[in-house]
Amino acid sequence: MKNTNVSSTVLERLTEEWDALTPEAQKAARYVLEHPADVGVSTVREIADAAKVKPNTFVRMARQVGFEGYEDFRAPFREAIRRGGVSFPDRARWLQDISKSGELGVLYADMAAAAIRNIEETFAGIDAIGLEAAAQAIWKSRQVFTLGVGVNNANARNFTYLASTGMKQFHTIPRPGSTPVDDLAWADSQDVLIAMTCKPYRTEVIEAIRIAREQGVTIVGISDSPASPAVLNADHGFVVAVDTPQFFPSSVSTIALLETLLSFVVAVSSEEIVERVEKFHKRRHQLGLYAEEPE
């Protein structure tokens, strides 16, 4: 029973009813117990071929343990995939299975619902006091290093890009050709590191946090669990909800949190920042970087 966090109820039913199953049904049940992650991503024919039994055997097995049929039996396994209980490749196969089944409307609804739910859960667990404390630390710092790798590298760069319209001390790391720990070589108690990582946690991010702490850097950690090393080792920790039907963690709530954090930084900053932002955008218009609206 590995590689899944499907509710143990279904798997327990199989073991409890084992003696009542026919030899062929036991072969099907054995395959499920040993490969539970396959159930949510396979059609009845595919899983029957893998178990070396006939498709009807899986249907009969499902009914013998209290389900209406194979699809009813498979539902908890598919739900576990939707909630992130199996590997990325399994979730990718599940998405393709949805497409083949003509269930893209369900996927659309699930994606929309997950995005809204993630935003709600994230902001329900964060308060303005915590955000203001982090924003004050960022504003008063000498330099701000925003660290993200993989998909979070784009989130980090977006944050730095937005901040740079009014402030100069923001840097995204790792820089091209460098490593996070090298980029933090001269950072100290005057600086802030904003570090983000979600399960499975990236080792280079966790190591950078550890070294930055040793150097006295203030840590703002963003992750998907209060037990994440990125949050546990942070001076200011924020937990984001990342659940999605997709096969990778959602960035929706991370981006929303970063945008909110930046708005707090601007709110606690000097009036000079507003003037800088205005000057930055005026310069862009003068250089012809924006398409002018017709009069």
Q: What CATH number is associated with residue 255?
A: 3.40.50.10490
Q: How confident is the model at residue 159 (pLDDT cuts 50, 70, 90)?
A: very high
Q: What is the C-alpha to C-alpha distance for residues 162 and 225, in angstroms, rounded to an integer? A: 26
Pair (57, 133) in one structural domain: no
**Domain region containing 142:** 117-286
In a domain, 94, yes or no: no
pLDDT digits (tens, 9 = 90+) for 100-115: 666 677 777 788 888 8
pLDDT digits (tens, 9 = 90+) for 53-95: 999 999 999 898 888 888 888 888 877 766 655 566 666 766 6
Q: What CATH number is associated with residue 78?
A: 1.10.10.10
Domain tally for the chain?
2
Pair (122, 266) in one structural domain: yes
In a domain, 97, yes or no: no
Pair (146, 279) in one structural domain: yes
Pair (277, 142) in one structural domain: yes
Pair (172, 263) in one structural domain: yes
On whether the pTM is more than 0.75, the answer is: no
CB 259 within 8 A of CB 131: no
- Residue-wise burial string across 80-108, b where 16 or more C-beta atoms lie within 10 A, e elsewhere: bbbebbbeeebbebbbebbeeeeeeeebe
Pair (274, 184) in one structural domain: yes
